Chains A and B, each alone.
Chain A
């Protein structure tokens, strides 16, 4: 439990105003909406309790905190899914969303390709494209070296392009055309 003080409260509010949206978006990209809301609340409490530990650049730290809180919540959820006979259907998180009628014609191909990537590759791409993180920040979030983050990002982009190419490749049938 952290002691309350007006200064601390004001500084905390500033951080929430500056980064709360990004943290909530981070969670909504990775889980269904209700869980995202719950885990966001938990993350904000952790932020308060560990306020003294928050680094100068707080966003990667907040993403790590949110991810840890999400893991805790998902562990409960996995148990829940195993044990319940009757359960409210939960909308799964979208891996990616339709962009609507103006959608880039390659978007569908990208969604399929993204879904075929490993969890690790997909996550590094999400951090790069959606959270707009650079390799040093990705390294912090994934708890790996900057070099490893750079390599992992490079490989993930390459795999994504390969998967997109593959989905464009025409399929061949045995025996060919008659």
Chain B
């Protein structure tokens, strides 16, 4: 089989074959998103939640349901630096009261144990929703961390926001005073446990 045959055979197996070309409307949306970005906007229409959220689990009374958490600000830098997203936290806009209000569940939790890959979080304050008292989540390893340390550290606190069982990696992170104040403004009546 010569090169031409091989290439033709590979092309027959191309999963991108038959893709519909981008239509005018899509191109206009892309350009508009870029222009909004240039004016300080946030990119294509409503990508934030879809792109920056990832699935959590049944965060409820079961207490041991798995949940995901990607800590904004502790996220690994891209493996290949350029070209690519220029900011460490990719396209996250700063956490705001408005973005948090998209969440149906928001709480502060402390990592009480880190055993191997299992991290147990104890919910200490509920800003919104019913997250339950305790959650067990797997440790999140940061591939950029040379010593292999995980993101969760026992004794440290984290603020976590989720919607429809998806935890926002943009709006969740280590419980700093600044982030806590934004949570408190978004959800003015927290309950402490």
Q: Would you call A178 an interface residue if the criterion is a C-beta within 8 Å of the partner chain's C-beta atoms?
A: no
Most buried by B among A24, A53, A72, A86: A72
Complexed CA–CA distance, A128 and B11 (Å) = 10
Closest to A161 in B: B1
Complexed CA–CA distance, A130 and B18 (Å) = 12
Complexed CA–CA distance, A73 and B39 (Å) = 25
Q: Would you call A146 an interface residue if the criterion is a C-beta within 8 Å of the partner chain's C-beta atoms?
A: no
Interface residues on A, range: 35 or more
Digitize B111-139: 1 where CB-to-A-CB distance is under 8 Å, 0 elsewhere: 00000000000000000000000000110
Q: Out of B11, B15, B83, B138, name the residue touching A83 (CB < 8 Å).
A: B138
Main secondary structure of the interface of A (DSSP, over half): helix
Closest to A143 in B: B80
The interface residues of chain A lying within 8 Å CB-to-CB of B181 are none
The interface residues of chain A lying within 8 Å CB-to-CB of B169 are 76
Digitize B12-41: 1 where CB-to-A-CB distance is under 8 Å, 0 elsewhere: 111111010110000100110111011110
The answer to whether A24 and B22 have CB atoms under 8 Å apart is yes
Within 8 A of A (CB), among B61-88: 65-70, 76, 78-80, 82-86
The answer to whether B33 and A79 have CB atoms under 8 Å apart is no
Q: Would you call A116 an interface residue if the criterion is a C-beta within 8 Å of the partner chain's C-beta atoms?
A: no
The answer to whether A82 and B138 have CB atoms under 8 Å apart is yes
Q: Would you call B188 an interface residue if the criterion is a C-beta within 8 Å of the partner chain's C-beta atoms?
A: no
The interface residues of chain A lying within 8 Å CB-to-CB of B22 are 16-17, 20-21, 24
Given contacts A41-B43, A42-B91, 14 further A-B contacts (CB under 8 A): A2-B38, A8-B38, A9-B34, A13-B31, A20-B27, A45-B37, A48-B34, A68-B79, A68-B82, A86-B57, A96-B10, A96-B14, A130-B10, A143-B80
